[in-house]
Structure formats: C-alpha cells, structure tokens
Amino acid sequence: MDDMTGRAAPDLAGSALGKADASAGGGFAAPLTVTARAKARIAEIAADGQPGLLRVAVLGGGCSGFQYEFGLEPAPAAEDAVIDGVVLVDPESAPFLAGAVIDFKDELIGARFAIENPNATSSCGCGVSFSM
C-alpha cells in the first residue's frame, strides 16, 4: 500500500510494463505516447523557467473513480519512467496509462493536456476523471 495515495502498488512482474526498457528509466516499458504538440508545450513551459518535466499520475477519486493529476518536476524520481525525455510516470500509475496518448489541446474553452486512454471504459465530461 502506498502511504501517499492509499492505493495498493500493482505487481508489474511478468507484464509488459514490468519488463525493463532503457528509454523508460524506471525499469518498465513506456506506458504512453506523447504527441508532438504535448512535447512542444512542455518545451515552452521549460523555456519560461518552469521545471521541464511533466508528471502524469492516476489517483483514486473524481466523479468516475479515477482521475489524472498533472504537475511539473525538475527531475525524475529513481523509480519513474521518463517518456520521450519530457513526461514522468510513477510505477503505480503506469498500468492505468498503458497504451494511452497524451496530447496538448488549445481550444476556445481553454488550453490543457489531455489523455486518450484505451483502458478507460467511461469518462467524465471534464476529461480528467475516468473509470476502468
């Protein structure tokens, strides 16, 4: 059980996410794809003097059961996967993000990072909360 999130840590041994991948840095295969738009926005944020790595995590909560959390970090933690040199994923969130695509959308209603997750069976209208 993770003391910070209250979630049980998944057993990744033997799964595709549990196999070592040199590009992942955290000892598991890259769980998501980062679009060129998302990479460009992260680079813009870093150029403005903000930390240059985007952390993507999945937490329990939200109106659909799970929710995404985004944050900026100056450096990865030892157990993090580093995706395309710009996105950090912790090992507890990795199974929930397997096969997902992170994009940056700039629309009339606002600009945001968005995740297209093939594991989500439904999602809230806000785009942050989902169920599996």
What's 122's domain CATH number?
2.60.300.12
Q: What 3-state class would DSSP assign to 17?
A: helix
Reported as a pLDDT band with limits 50, 70 and 90, residue 8 is very low
Residue 8 lies in a domain: no
CA 16 – CA 35 distance, rounded (Å): 22
User: If we measure between CA atoms, which residue out of 72, 90, 94 comes closest to residue 80?
Assistant: 90
Q: Quick one: the chain helix, strand, coil %, rounded to 5?
A: 15, 35, 50
Residue 13 lies in a domain: no
Residue 64 lies in a domain: yes
Quick check: 112 pLDDT over 60?
Answer: yes
Q: How many CB atoms within 10 Å of residue 84?
A: 16
Range of the domain at 76: 19-131
* pTM of full prediction above 0.75: no
